[in-house]
Amino acid sequence: MYTFLVVDDSSEAREAISDILSLEPSFYVIGQASNGKEALKFLQNRKADIVLMDINMPEMNGFEATKQIKTLFPDITIIMLSVSDDVQDFFEALKLGAQGYLVKNLEPQLWLDYLRSVATGDTPLEKGIAMRILQEFTEGGGKAQQQKEQFHSLTKREREILQLVAEGYTNRDIACNLTISENTVKNHLKNILQKLHVKNRVQLARYAAEFKNKGYPL
Amino acid sequence: MYTFLVVDDSSEAREAISDILSLEPSFYVIGQASNGKEALKFLQNRKADIVLMDINMPEMNGFEATKQIKTLFPDITIIMLSVSDDVQDFFEALKLGAQGYLVKNLEPQLWLDYLRSVATGDTPLEKGIAMRILQEFTEGGGKAQQQKEQFHSLTKREREILQLVAEGYTNRDIACNLTISENTVKNHLKNILQKLHVKNRVQLARYAAEFKNKGYPL
DNA sequence: CCAAAAATAGCCCGATGGGGCTATTTTTTT
DNA sequence: AAAAAAATAGCCCCATCGGGCTATTTTTGG
């Protein structure tokens, strides 16, 4: 039996993550927090085995929170969450004592596989697994690369459209701008929403902003 | 008589700005551009006395454009525009040769006051005025503070709603969350959109993100 | 050259959004 | 206590969005 604390500023994300965790009978989400401060407060009352910690949060970000939690409760396992698979963030997370790093927008099954291996300690998770998971989604790693392709990888056109959507343009604007039909824009958009597991264009804009913030190419 | 080139990626913003400028009989908007590149192209054909340059634009952003314009046409006065009153941006703007920095969402009258003083050179604008204007809108500067309040000033409720919108929630979600009717949410939203001069919730999200990014309280 | 992937485009239809109005109640300010 | 501002809520109406589905043409990769 493993207890989880989910820390993310988006209540939606927390719900989504909790939903995924509930698929594994031995996983129990015992709390949620919307920023690092709340997470610390929570842990002072009740300890969790594993903390899933988003990086970008108001008040206190995931890095700072990880540092402090690790100082106070060194035996808590912390897995950092991010929408990007940025290598810098990944190493930063490990440096501060996190045991892992999970890229959002992955298949629930992958989350569970990964978290099970972290929880049971079956695998030498010291860095190996986390690293492997990351690598699978950064450099072209054979079969895993296909999964990335299948998953996040937007096509060139999709990226163009994502960018315009994120700037607040309507589908018609975009169609006009790219001189294609509005239907085509809608089609691309549908695919983008599906690929990135978000529900609407505002969330898409947030997604794009998070990437842009890190200087990530999108 | 002073000629203006308005550079902003949002055609709405350009229109709004042009409208404000038209209130002063001696101000003439002789051109608009939607990004830095277009602005440069325009200036090669026809020079303007003053360029109003948005910072965030696709293709070529305001900082880059300012640098290049100042190199090619050192006698053109450039005023940077931004939705935020971030001090970093402000100094960056001055460093690159801009003569001023205007915060969007200010009262038209303030714009005109400021631009008149820039145009006529009556005041030692070398940094003084720009700085003063900025200060009025950062630290609590007596009367000016009230004007800020009056202007972009969303109410408490509106800020709550803005935040939820920016996180990608639908109106219904928000209504549910705040236990008010969806109609009320829509009403608040209408007011917010109007106050912040944006067209839709994605642009609202961008607005919120820009503020959040700079650690500005919103 | 052929197969797979990407880009194009259309249709239908219900959900959501956003503008324009009016109006009542609560809260704040004067 | 009176006035002003904010919060609440409703209405109508059309625009936009987003999901599901099919289908053709380009482009790309092996």
pLDDT, tens digit (0-9, with 9 covering 90-100), for B28-82? 888 899 888 888 888 888 888 889 888 877 777 787 888 788 778 877 888 888 7
pLDDT above 80 (res A38): yes
Q: What CA–CA distance (Å, rounded) separates B45 from B91?
A: 30
pLDDT at B113: 64
Q: If DSSP codes are grouped into helix, strand and coil, which group holds residue B78?
A: strand
**A83 in reach of chain B (CB within 8 A):** no
Confidence of residue B186 (pLDDT cuts 50, 70, 90): very high
Q: What is the mean pLDDT of chain A?
A: 71
For the beta carbon of residue A141, count every other beta carbon within 10 angstroms.
Answer: 15
Does residue A6 surpass a pLDDT of 80? Answer: yes
DSSP A168: T
Number of other CB atoms surrounding residue A87 within 10 Å: 13
pLDDT of residue B179: 92
> Could you tell me the CA-to-CA distances from B5 to B11, B48, B51, B80 in Å, in that order?
13, 6, 5, 12
Of residues A215 and A13, more confidence is placed in A13
Q: Find all residues with CB under 8 Å of A63, minimum gap 6, and list them.
A: A55, A92, A93, A96
Q: Strand C closer than 7 Å to the CB of A194?
A: no
Question: Could you give the dihedral angle defined by the CA atoms of residues A102, A107, A111 and A113, in that order, rounded to the nearest 10 degrees?
Answer: -130
Across the interface, do B168 and A202 touch by the CB < 8 Å criterion? yes
Residue B102: what residue type? Answer: L
Q: What is the pLDDT of residues A51-110, one digit of tens each?
A: 988 887 777 777 788 878 877 887 788 888 876 544 445 545 555 556 666 666 656 666
Q: Kindly write down the DSSP assignment for every residue of B11-54, as one continuous string.
A: HHHHHHHHHHHTTSTTEEEEEEESSHHHHHHHHHHS--SEEEEE
Look up the protein residue whose alpha carbon has the minimum distance to the C1' of D11.
Answer: B183
Residues 149-178 of chain B with CB under 7 A from strand C are 170-172
How far is Cα B105 from Cα B82, in angstroms, rounded to an integer? 9
Widest distance between CA atoms in chain A = 58
User: Looking at CA atoms only, how far is residue A132 from chain B in angstroms?
Assistant: 31
- A183 beta carbon to strand C: under 7 Å: yes
Alpha-carbon span A114 to A7, nearest angstrom: 18
pLDDT digits (tens, 9 = 90+) for A147-205: 332 334 678 898 889 888 988 899 998 999 899 999 999 999 999 888 776 788 998 88
Q: What share of chain A in percent tops pLDDT 70?
A: 63
pTM given for the model: 0.49
How does the average pLDDT of chain B come out, rounded? 71
Q: Which of residues 48-77 of B touch A (CB under 8 A)?
A: 58
Find all residues with CB under 8 Å of A190, minimum gap 6, and list them: none
Q: State the virtual CA torsion across A46, A49, A55, A59 in degrees, nearest 10.
A: 10
The arithmetic mean of pLDDT across residues B130-138, rounded, is 35
pLDDT tens readout for residues A123-135: 333 333 333 333 3
User: Which tokens go with B7?
Assistant: 């550079």
CB-proximal positions of chain C, under 7 Å? 5-11, 16-23
Contact A63, A78 (CB under 8 A): no
